[in-house]
Amino acid sequence: MRTVSLLFLLAVPFSCSEDFLDQELPNEVSADDLYVDENGFEIGLNGLYALARTERSGITSNNNPTGSSNNLMSSMMMAGTDIIYANRPWNAERFLNDWGALVLGGDAAIYFREVWEWLYETINAANTIITRGEEFVAGIPSDDADQLARFNRIMAEARTIRAWAYRHLTFLYGDVPMPLEESTGGNFRVDWEREPVATVRAQIKEDFEFGVAHLPVDHINDGKIVRAVAQHYLAELLIIEGNFEEAINTALAAINGPKQLVTARYGVNSSGPGTPFSDMFLDGNSNPSEGNTEALWVFQNGFEVEGGQGHNIMRRWFMSEYSSTNGGAPGLQVTVERGGRGQTRLSATKFMLDLYGSRDASNNLIVNDDRGGEFAWRISFTIQEGDPSSAGAVGSPIFLNFSPIDPIGDRFRPYTRKWDWSHLVNPIESRSFNDQVYLRLADTYLLLAEAYFKNGDAGNAASYINDLRNRANAPTVSPGDITLDFILDERARELFSEEHRRYTLLRNDKWMERTNLFNFNVTGALTDRDKLYPIPQSFIDANIDNRIQNNPGY
């Protein structure tokens, strides 16, 4: 298993938030020199957050060793589901359509290895802070309550992110090794055991509970996590355990805290066309300090700022490649207004597009739902001067392709506008540098509705779902409308491309059923084997003193 050096942590981008970037960082520093005071631990936390943000950036591959813009890390967490398919005949994500032998080698194996190593790098960074933090706390005078509270908050951030990383690992790989101490030369191991999922989740629960006890209730920095983050993930874990009453109480504690759903227009475009829902995803509106009362965790990115250049490739992966003349695309100019350059690597299934209701000849929704409207999804472009004449007359609309069922290679598919961002000078830039909401209170509302439903209370489930539907101007529902499948549909309408859809379906034992039913490219390809990804062969080979068995079927 790869370990991470502190120098690496300090070299990666931290944040565009001023508090994160206002640090004097030496070029080289040892852990022994860094973790000697509170400021050193805060710098270490910044590196930990930078590692977490990697989820939305690129990984390495055979033809892109830097991982700067290709192969979205989170593809294997979201795609290959009922609502997202891989829309390229040659791209690395095609295993999420075809499964079978494609999962066993090539670019798929690169995904599994890189995600595995990234998560263990994140865990080791957290373990370093936790291990050294426990030693530091032991030396704090018992009457210094303020310093003890500050260090407990630091430890709570590290433990919550560690639990978050193990959450990923259990959903992706099942039983996994569970190091809980800083990796050093003195404790290097090649005899790891795979701990049962139940054992790992017991530790996850303990870490989230520590986060609930010691994280701040509100943001002290836009890029930091708050108590509701730990409460949210703890509520999810309690649902998995079948402890619905405690899950309800935990989710309610988050919802009744200082965070609130965004229900009115705000921010940078508050007087222009838009909706409260779409406002949350505009550049300049993502952060709590910018008026986003719903944001629980915001990934901080920045271009040419002191401290690094954090980036993501969400827009590039989900957007239409409208500038191409292949795959039905009209070869339009790449502009800032159009959102910059896209690739259509991941697309919404036809089932997903139809979840918002039927559409008229102009692709406008007949039954309204702001989450599926023109401000939330790209429905059309307006022809401009300089566009090819074959695209149509200047000023006329050109509509994206709603009708086909999950076509491979269609580069003019409708796409979510949650990740719209364009470099003002260089709109063909592959990467995005905007701050992005990672976790919202709306997700907690939907977890609460699920817990209520599973606890036999469809009335309260409908009530909390209607809070979201009212915000979206969608028709309300009654308790009799609530089923598990309805809740999963509602999660898709609200959280498309935000939630880890694979995890949601797996924990509800719905992944194979719904993916086979609603993802045209996957139908019939899935087996029980595919509920878990293979343990990377590189780890199995390196663990020479204990032969690790791979997951069944690999």
The 10s digit of each residue's pLDDT in 458-506 is 999 999 999 999 999 999 999 999 999 999 999 999 999 999 999 999 9
Give the pLDDT band (50/70/90) at residue 84. very high
Domain boundary among 266, 292, 309: 309
Q: In sequence order, which residues have a C-beta less than 8 Å from that of residue 299 and are 6 or more positions away?
A: 52, 53, 56, 223, 310, 312, 435, 436, 437, 438
**How buried is 66 (Cβ within 10 angstroms: 0-12 exposed, 13-18 middle, 19+ buried)?**
exposed
Query: Do 193 and 168 share a structural domain?
Result: yes
Q: What percent of the chain has pLDDT over 90?
A: 77
Is a pLDDT exceeding 50 seen at residue 179? yes
Query: Do 305 and 201 share a structural domain?
Result: yes
List pLDDT tens digits, range 120-159: 999 999 999 999 999 998 889 988 999 999 999 999 999 9
Is a pLDDT exceeding 70 seen at residue 162? yes
**Does some domain include residue 67?**
yes
Domain boundary among 403, 422, 441: 422
CATH label of the domain that carries residue 248: 1.25.40.390
Query: Do 244 and 226 share a structural domain?
Result: yes
**How buried is 428 (Cβ within 10 angstroms: 0-12 exposed, 13-18 middle, 19+ buried)?**
exposed
- The DSSP annotation for 529-554 comes to GGGSPPPPHHHHHH-TTS-PPPPTT-
Query: Do 206 and 172 share a structural domain?
Result: yes
Average pLDDT of the segment spanning 261-276: 97
Q: How far is the C-alpha of 98 from the C-alpha of 95, rounded, in Å? A: 5
Q: What's the token pair of residue 197?
A: 């999922």
Query: Do 319 and 301 share a structural domain?
Result: no
**Does some domain include residue 349?**
yes
Is a pLDDT exceeding 50 seen at residue 17? no
Top pLDDT among 9 and 468 is at 468
Residue in the block written with tokens 């919202």: 440
List pLDDT tens digits, range 93-111: 899 999 999 998 778 888 8
Is a pLDDT exceeding 50 seen at residue 6? no
Is a pLDDT exceeding 70 seen at residue 306? no
pLDDT of residue 69: 60
Q: DSSP H helical segments within 174-326, as ranges?
A: 197-214, 227-241, 244-255, 276-279, 314-318
Q: What percent of the chain has pLDDT over 70?
A: 92
Number of structural domains found in the chain? 2
Is a pLDDT exceeding 60 seen at residue 214? yes
Q: What's the token pair of residue 421?
A: 């961002």
Give the pLDDT band (50/70/90) at residue 554. very high
Top pLDDT among 91 and 211 is at 211
pLDDT of residue 273: 97
Query: Do 250 and 143 share a structural domain?
Result: yes
pLDDT of residue 68: 56
pLDDT of residue 23: 39
**Does some domain include residue 184?**
yes
pLDDT of residue 5: 32
In one letter, which amino acid is 64?
A: N
Is a pLDDT exceeding 80 seen at residue 433? yes
Query: Do 277 and 336 share a structural domain?
Result: no
Q: What's the token pair of residue 202?
A: 């017991």
pLDDT of residue 304: 60
Query: Do 331 and 260 share a structural domain?
Result: no
Query: Do 143 and 182 share a structural domain?
Result: yes
Give the pLDDT band (50/70/90) at residue 186. confident
Q: What's the token pair of residue 163?
A: 């639990």
Q: In sequence order, which residues have a C-beta less than 8 Å from that of residue 107 and are 6 or more positions away?
A: 61, 62, 71, 92, 95
Top pLDDT among 116 and 365 is at 116
Q: How far is the C-alpha of 505 from the C-alpha of 450, rounded, in Å? A: 13
Q: What is the mean pLDDT of the chain?
A: 90
Q: How far is the C-alpha of 126 from the C-alpha of 61, rounded, in Å? A: 26
pLDDT of residue 1: 38
pLDDT of residue 150: 95
Q: In sequence order, which residues have a C-beta less than 8 Å from that of residue 122 and are 6 or more positions away?
A: 48, 51, 52, 54, 161, 162, 165
Query: Do 318 and 296 share a structural domain?
Result: no
Query: Do 272 and 355 share a structural domain?
Result: no
In one letter, which amino acid is 192?
A: W
Average pLDDT of the segment spanning 302-328: 81
Query: Do 191 and 326 share a structural domain?
Result: no
Average pLDDT of the segment spanning 247-271: 98
**Does some domain include residue 64?**
yes
Is a pLDDT exceeding 70 seen at residue 551? yes
pLDDT of residue 106: 78
User: 233-242, 334-343, 463-472: which has the minimum mean pLDDT?
Assistant: 334-343
pLDDT of residue 9: 32
Is a pLDDT exceeding 60 seen at residue 393? yes
**Does some domain include residue 486?**
no
pLDDT of residue 31: 84
**Does some domain include residue 524?**
no
Instruction: Decide: helix, strand or coil at residue 384.
Output: coil
For residues 517 and 78, the answer to whether their CB atoms sit within 8 Å is no
pLDDT of residue 33: 86
**Does some domain include residue 108?**
yes
Domain that holds residue 416: 314-422
List pLDDT tens digits, range 43-73: 999 999 999 999 998 876 554 544 556 789 9
**Does some domain include residue 258?**
yes
Domain boundary among 422, 437, 453: 422
Q: How far is the C-alpha of 341 from the C-alpha of 361, rounded, in Å? A: 27
Q: In sequence order, which residues have a C-beta less than 8 Å from that of residue 238 and are 6 or more positions away?
A: 244, 246, 247, 250, 451
